[in-house]
A and B are shown apart, each in its own frame.
Chain A
Amino acid sequence: MKKSRAPAITVAVLLVGGCVAPFAISSFHTFQLTQILIYAIALLGLNLLTGYSGQISLGHGAFYGIGAYAAAILLDHAWLPYWATIPVAGAVCFAVGFGFGLPALRLEGPYLALATFALAIATPQILKHDALEKWTGGVQGILLDKPEPPGLLAGPLDADQWLYFLCLVFVVVSYVIGWNLVRGRTGRALIAIRDQPIAAAAMGIDTALYKSTTFGLSAMYTGVAGALGALLTGFVSPDSFTILVSINFLVGVVVGGMASILGNLFGALFIVIVPNIASDISESAPWAIYGALLILIMILMPRGFAGMVRAVAARRG
């Protein structure tokens, strides 16, 4: 099997570029780039579910929101320093995802879509609810302070850049873990379950456990992204985590191309940048332009950006 060095080179280039970028661009663009990195982690989570497990989720916005709120609540009550809230948020989301996955894994296709949709609808309602207002801040939400760079780095980096690099580190770590997960036994088991569930079960793979664990891991990644997102925007409120977030994530995963790191990055880029482009094209009906672009891209690249790259590479090779 011929090993192409193109992916490795691409990754190296992106990493170098990524490290240099915040010093070369404005604060706002650093903010946008950070948002892209955060979404890249969120999309990795969703991709784990849809790309490798072949299941659909319309509810990942809920995990993003739960992760964000977990971090916000911990920070707001000063129980943990900001950097510690992130793994805790991840753990919380893992538990929620695993717990949700257990009953939900009996459902397939559109039925599973509805169940995850219900989760996405319910989460903002629960967050708004009076009973939890003491913790969640109700409709108003919670305001957060932007994390400052630690003493040593306070000179060369401002707060925006520090957060950017923090997210960059998380992206690299998430992707390395994710890559190993997918390439190893777990990944093969997941693919087996996706493609031939009956045979997989017959071979002794505990399908239920794997499926729930996948849900949990998927939720965990997106929850970590949510926590980082909370730190970036500086506040959380129930209405920031509506079903639109879930739909946005799904768009990102499909447009980027499933089961591909490059695809994830492209997808994250797409969902951050393209709505802005659509607004530039049309003041009065930007969403119509966005919708048209979505359809056009899906017709031209049915397997997403990554799919198109693979097709081009296959034709050349």
Chain B
Amino acid sequence: MEGFLHQLLLGLASGSIYGGVALALVMIFKATHHVNFAQGELAMFTTYISWSLIQAGAPYWVAFALTLGGAFLLGSLIQVAIVRRVQHAPVLTVVIVFIGLLIILNSLAGWLFGHTTIDFPSPFPADAWYGSAYFSPHEVGMTVVTLATLALVYAFFRYTRLGLAMRAAALNPASSRLVGIRVDRMLALGWGFASLLGAVAGMMAAPIVFLEPNMMVGILVYAFAAALLGGIENPWGAPIGGFIVGVMENLAGAYVVGTQIKLAVALFIIVAVLVFKPSGLFGRRSVVRV
């Protein structure tokens, strides 16, 4: 029973990472109706940037803040330079563009930073008071940071003027233009924010999964599953989906042999759920008037 509880809590911890990346995916999906398959690689790349800053002597939280700024810029830049040029193209064309981005970022990271696994530092000291037998200090800190980020994002969209404008731009671009909202700019900002979320997730995950070019690949898959499980249009569903996926992954890994198989098992369970609830657990079936 103790082991089960431990797995459960571990699942919640990793679930917060999946939830963070899932939220980034949901954000971009709500704004553009596209799933950004390059989200994971973007997070990995920005984590490498923070590592470079730390190597250059910057204190952790300074590097953290600078990386968030850099991630925001990089995300917005990618939207303006690349994604905007295919925004009216068929869905699969955009998918291929995202795959292209994924490949470029992965390859560039390997080329610029090497392929050796790196020990990424955690800002939460190993002997901190909030650690315990079940939860290491980093796992506690990681969960808190991710939840705080999610709360900030929620507050931003709910209570700020800019957040409202971004929601509007995603819901109804034509009407948004009629009230003077620069929809293109909102999309670029959306990408910037999503990229920022990814960077947080990356920097929190790196101490656990170790920094290397493929570090986010598995996480992206789980985050994608989490986003869908929660309902791809539903920002609330993302963190909840993340926790469910995290717990399921851990349980599958503990009781089913092999890490690769556990991925397949976890995915199949999620797909099975989706077959019964095709719009996710909390998604709304949109009623289409014929």
Contact = CB atoms under 8 A, between A and B. Distances in A.
29 contacts: A106-B278, A107-B274, A109-B91, A111-B279, A111-B280, A115-B271, A115-B275, A121-B264, A122-B268, A125-B260, A125-B263, A128-B260, A129-B261, A198-B290, A250-B92, A253-B92, A254-B93, A285-B107, A287-B107, A290-B103, A291-B100, A293-B100, A294-B97, A295-B100, A298-B93, A299-B97, A302-B90, A302-B93, A303-B89
Given A107-B274, A115-B274, A299-B85, A291 B103 contact: yes
A234 interface: no
B99 interface: yes
B264 A299 contact: no
B278 A111 contact: yes
> B35, B224, B260, B275 — which one has the most chain A CB atoms within 10 A of its CB?
B275
B126 interface: no
Contacts of B97: 294-295, 298-299
Given A111-B228, A299-B86, A121 B267 contact: yes
Contact of B101 (A113, A284, A291): A291
Contact of A285 (B92, B101, B111, B280): B111
Interface in B76-96: 82, 85-86, 88-96
Interface in A235-256: 247, 250-251, 253-255
Main secondary structure of the interface of B (DSSP, over half): helix
Given A287-B107, A288-B108, A118 B267 contact: yes
B264 A302 contact: no
A109 B275 CA distance: 13
Given A106-B278, A110-B232, A117 B267 contact: yes
A117 B221 contact: yes
Nearest to B103: A291
Interface of A: 50, 56, 103-104, 106-111, 113-115, 117-118, 121-122, 125-126, 128-129, 198-199, 247, 250-251, 253-255, 258, 284-288, 290-295, 298-299, 302-304
Contacts of A286: 107
Contacts of B102: 291
Contacts of A128: 260
Contact of A292 (B104, B221, B228, B261): B104
B10 interface: no
A129 B261 CA distance: 9
B229 to A, nearest CB: 9
Contacts of A113: 35
Contacts of B186: none
Given A298-B93, A302-B93, A251 B86 contact: no
